Copies of this chain bind each other. A is one copy, B any other.
Amino acid sequence: MNKLYVVGIGPGAYEKMTIEAANALKNSDVIIGYTVYVDLVKEHFSGKEFLTTPMKKEVDRCVMAFEEAMKGKTVSMICSGDAGVYGMSGLMYEIGVKYPEVELEIIPGVTAATGGAAVLGAPLIHDFCLISLSDLLTPWEKIEARLLNAAKADFVICLYNPSSKKRHDYLQKACDLMMQHQSPETVCGIVGNIGRDGEHMQVMTLKELRDTKVDMFTTVFIGNSQTMNIQGKMVTPRGYKNV
């Protein structure tokens, strides 16, 4: 059977990839991905054939990967972070129905939530939600209901895609919703360019986060009622009981 790996390469730096992911890329004839991610790995895997498609051409990219595999080549489709978190692995299974000869193998990686958490301290130690603020494929009402329910149940919340040119005020809207249930003093944090050049982090309150400008390379963390600022790090305790 023709083998097609769907590989999460982690936040960006080569060292943040798993050994298994690096091995899959080494064993591949062709490496396919969004231009930016292919550029991140290129120098470490010389001699491979690299194919890219621009952003928003995800379906074309998946079809390309299956077609290359059908030629008998070993193919890796790469995603930043983990391929299964807002990544390509779902679409690959959906499109894969038409290519029964190709065997998919998903190789997990470090997603922005855990990669960013490691930079901020330990914000995700207890129950948490991942929510994307992008309403490209999801109605805003659904996103709003998730934000409200997550705040009501005192989850730590990690926001992906907190901003874009068209959605410049979405983080502000999200913080206003949070403050219906959480204190404005809730400990929050942002991390930009996780595992890449220019990585930066900042710990702040929910009230301050509301008025902070972030870009699309930023991951946002909103603490639960127990989250603390310990010497500039964002730390959530393991539970609510002292043991």
Q: Report A's interface with B, CB cutoff 8 A.
A: 8, 10, 13-20, 22-23, 82-87, 89-94, 96-97, 106-111, 114-115, 117-119, 121-132, 136-139, 142-143, 145-146, 148-150, 152-155, 230-231, 233, 235-241, 243
Contact across chains for B125 and A230 when beta carbons are under 8 A apart? no
Q: How many copies does the complex hold?
A: 2
Q: Say yes or no: A241-B90 contact (C-beta < 8 A), given A16-B20, A18-B10, A231-B97.
A: no
A-B contact pairs, 21 of them (CB 8 A): A14-B19, A15-B19, A18-B110, A83-B118, A84-B123, A84-B125, A85-B114, A87-B122, A89-B125, A90-B122, A94-B230, A94-B235, A111-B114, A126-B132, A126-B138, A127-B132, A127-B143, A129-B129, A129-B155, A137-B243, A150-B153
User: Chain B's nearest CB lies how many Å from the CB of A199?
Assistant: 13
